[in-house]
Amino acid sequence: MKMSKTKKLTTIGMLCALSYAAVVIGRIPIVLFLKYDPKDVIIVIGGLIFGPLTALAVTVIVAVAQMFTISGTGLLGCLMNIVSSCSFAFSKLTSGNFSSASPIVFMVLLTNVSQSVSLTPSIFFVGIKAVIPPARRPPVKPIPAVIPTS
């Protein structure tokens, strides 16, 4: 039985709303700068039902809504959020296609590798200011310099 376009669009909108509600209500701080977002579970469920393009669409919609409302990281945080959620969702969606003895081990390895590779360059763009909160940063001492004058 084929689903109508209206029903599919409505279901995707509900997945976006559920994902955003999960971010607002279920955000759990783990460490100083890391917070667990349960929205990825809903994005994976949407991807399993409708395919990877739906997972991408839900990820982008929720990340942009999160950037404008509750996030304080701006455009770079939104981009990192999209890359992280997509790598998580796509690794879960592709791991079901392999018939190996342990698909769970493959799924965990693929998730870790994809998130590490995709998020490591962001450290170079963001720097230490995003990792360590302002209260715990070491004081910056100016480097003495001699300015030649003529």
- What is the rounded average pLDDT of the residues 125-145? 59
- Say which residue, 102 or 64, is predicted with more confidence: 64
Out of 56-60, 93-97, 125-129, 144-148, give the one with best mean pLDDT. 56-60
Cβ atoms of 118 and 83 closer than 8 Å: yes
Give the model's confidence band at 36: pLDDT under 50 very low, under 70 low, under 90 confident, else very high.
confident
Integer Cα distance of 44 and 2 in angstroms: 21
Is the model's pTM score more than 0.85?
no
